[in-house]
Amino acid sequence: MGGLIETSYAWLLVGLAVIAEITAALALRFSNGFTKPLPAVLALAAFGSAFYLVSLALVNLPVSTVYPVWAGGGTAGVALLGILMLKERAGLWKGIGVMLIVLGIVMLNLAAGGHGA
Protein backbone atom coordinates (compact mmCIF):
# COMPACT_ATOMS: atom_id res chain seq x y z
CA MET A 1 0.00 0.00 0.00
CA GLY A 2 2.93 2.35 0.62
CA GLY A 3 3.76 2.37 -3.11
CA LEU A 4 0.24 3.44 -4.01
CA ILE A 5 0.39 6.34 -1.57
CA GLU A 6 3.76 7.40 -2.97
CA THR A 7 2.44 7.16 -6.52
CA SER A 8 -0.72 9.09 -5.68
CA TYR A 9 1.37 11.76 -3.95
CA ALA A 10 3.67 11.94 -6.97
CA TRP A 11 0.69 12.49 -9.28
CA LEU A 12 -0.57 15.21 -6.94
CA LEU A 13 2.82 16.90 -7.37
CA VAL A 14 2.47 16.64 -11.16
CA GLY A 15 -0.98 18.25 -10.92
CA LEU A 16 0.44 21.07 -8.81
CA ALA A 17 3.27 21.47 -11.32
CA VAL A 18 0.72 21.85 -14.12
CA ILE A 19 -1.05 24.57 -12.13
CA ALA A 20 2.28 26.30 -11.49
CA GLU A 21 3.15 26.08 -15.20
CA ILE A 22 -0.19 27.64 -16.17
CA THR A 23 0.26 30.37 -13.56
CA ALA A 24 3.75 31.12 -14.88
CA ALA A 25 2.60 31.37 -18.50
CA LEU A 26 -0.26 33.69 -17.62
CA ALA A 27 2.05 35.82 -15.46
CA LEU A 28 4.41 36.12 -18.44
CA ARG A 29 1.49 37.47 -20.45
CA PHE A 30 1.00 40.24 -17.90
CA SER A 31 4.71 40.98 -17.33
CA ASN A 32 4.88 43.12 -20.50
CA GLY A 33 8.23 41.68 -21.54
CA PHE A 34 9.48 41.55 -17.94
CA THR A 35 8.94 45.29 -17.50
CA LYS A 36 6.30 44.82 -14.78
CA PRO A 37 8.05 43.46 -11.68
CA LEU A 38 5.18 41.67 -9.91
CA PRO A 39 4.07 39.48 -12.83
CA ALA A 40 7.72 38.90 -13.81
CA VAL A 41 8.64 37.68 -10.33
CA LEU A 42 5.47 35.57 -10.17
CA ALA A 43 6.35 33.97 -13.52
CA LEU A 44 9.88 33.10 -12.39
CA ALA A 45 8.68 31.75 -9.04
CA ALA A 46 5.93 29.69 -10.65
CA PHE A 47 8.27 28.24 -13.28
CA GLY A 48 10.78 27.39 -10.55
CA SER A 49 8.05 25.76 -8.49
CA ALA A 50 6.86 23.74 -11.48
CA PHE A 51 10.37 22.40 -12.16
CA TYR A 52 10.87 21.54 -8.50
CA LEU A 53 7.52 19.73 -8.22
CA VAL A 54 8.18 17.74 -11.38
CA SER A 55 11.63 16.78 -10.12
CA LEU A 56 10.05 15.40 -6.94
CA ALA A 57 7.43 13.47 -8.90
CA LEU A 58 10.13 11.92 -11.07
CA VAL A 59 11.52 10.13 -8.03
CA ASN A 60 8.55 7.71 -8.24
CA LEU A 61 7.16 8.13 -11.76
CA PRO A 62 8.66 7.61 -15.23
CA VAL A 63 9.75 10.67 -17.18
CA SER A 64 8.14 9.23 -20.33
CA THR A 65 4.74 9.76 -18.72
CA VAL A 66 5.30 12.69 -16.35
CA TYR A 67 6.88 15.13 -18.77
CA PRO A 68 4.19 14.84 -21.47
CA VAL A 69 1.43 15.09 -18.84
CA TRP A 70 3.07 18.18 -17.33
CA ALA A 71 3.82 19.88 -20.64
CA GLY A 72 0.54 18.89 -22.29
CA GLY A 73 -1.54 19.75 -19.25
CA GLY A 74 0.10 23.14 -19.07
CA THR A 75 -0.37 23.73 -22.78
CA ALA A 76 -4.04 22.75 -22.76
CA GLY A 77 -4.67 24.73 -19.56
CA VAL A 78 -3.07 27.89 -20.92
CA ALA A 79 -4.99 27.57 -24.20
CA LEU A 80 -8.30 27.14 -22.39
CA LEU A 81 -7.69 29.96 -19.91
CA GLY A 82 -6.50 32.22 -22.72
CA ILE A 83 -9.82 31.68 -24.44
CA LEU A 84 -11.99 31.88 -21.31
CA MET A 85 -10.24 34.59 -19.29
CA LEU A 86 -8.31 36.65 -21.83
CA LYS A 87 -10.96 36.46 -24.55
CA GLU A 88 -8.47 35.09 -27.07
CA ARG A 89 -9.86 33.75 -30.31
CA ALA A 90 -11.25 30.23 -30.16
CA GLY A 91 -11.49 28.42 -33.44
CA LEU A 92 -12.08 24.93 -34.71
CA TRP A 93 -8.37 24.15 -35.15
CA LYS A 94 -7.46 25.42 -31.71
CA GLY A 95 -10.24 23.32 -30.19
CA ILE A 96 -9.14 20.22 -32.07
CA GLY A 97 -5.54 20.83 -31.00
CA VAL A 98 -6.47 21.07 -27.32
CA MET A 99 -8.61 17.94 -27.60
CA LEU A 100 -5.70 16.06 -29.19
CA ILE A 101 -3.38 17.15 -26.37
CA VAL A 102 -5.85 15.92 -23.75
CA LEU A 103 -6.38 12.67 -25.68
CA GLY A 104 -2.62 12.17 -25.84
CA ILE A 105 -2.31 12.63 -22.08
CA VAL A 106 -5.09 10.10 -21.48
CA MET A 107 -3.46 7.62 -23.84
CA LEU A 108 -0.07 7.98 -22.14
CA ASN A 109 -1.65 7.27 -18.78
CA LEU A 110 -3.52 4.27 -20.13
CA ALA A 111 -0.31 2.93 -21.63
CA ALA A 112 1.40 3.36 -18.28
CA GLY A 113 -1.34 1.51 -16.42
CA GLY A 114 -2.84 4.71 -15.04
CA HIS A 115 -0.16 4.96 -12.34
CA GLY A 116 2.92 5.70 -14.33
CA ALA A 117 4.22 2.15 -13.97
60: CB partners within 8 A, 6+ apart? 6, 7, 9, 10, 116
Q: What is the pLDDT of residue 2?
A: 54
Quick check: is 44 in a domain?
A: yes
The torsion region of residue 50 among left (phi > 0), alpha (psi -120 to 50) and beta comes to alpha
Quick check: is 68 in a domain?
A: yes
Quick check: is 116 in a domain?
A: no
Per-residue pLDDT band at 117 (split at 50, 70, 90): very low
Q: What are phi and psi of 17, to 5 degrees?
A: -65, -40
Quick check: is 61 in a domain?
A: yes
Rounded mean pLDDT, 46-75: 94
Per the structure, the complete domain to which residue 98 belongs is given by 2-111
The torsion region of residue 56 among left (phi > 0), alpha (psi -120 to 50) and beta comes to alpha
- How many residues does this entry show for the chain? 117
Domain total of the chain: 1
Quick check: is 9 in a domain?
A: yes
For the chain, give the percent of residues with pLDDT over 70.
Answer: 91
Quick check: is 17 in a domain?
A: yes
Q: What is the pLDDT of residue 109?
A: 77
Q: What is the pLDDT of residue 20?
A: 98
Q: What is the pLDDT of residue 3?
A: 62
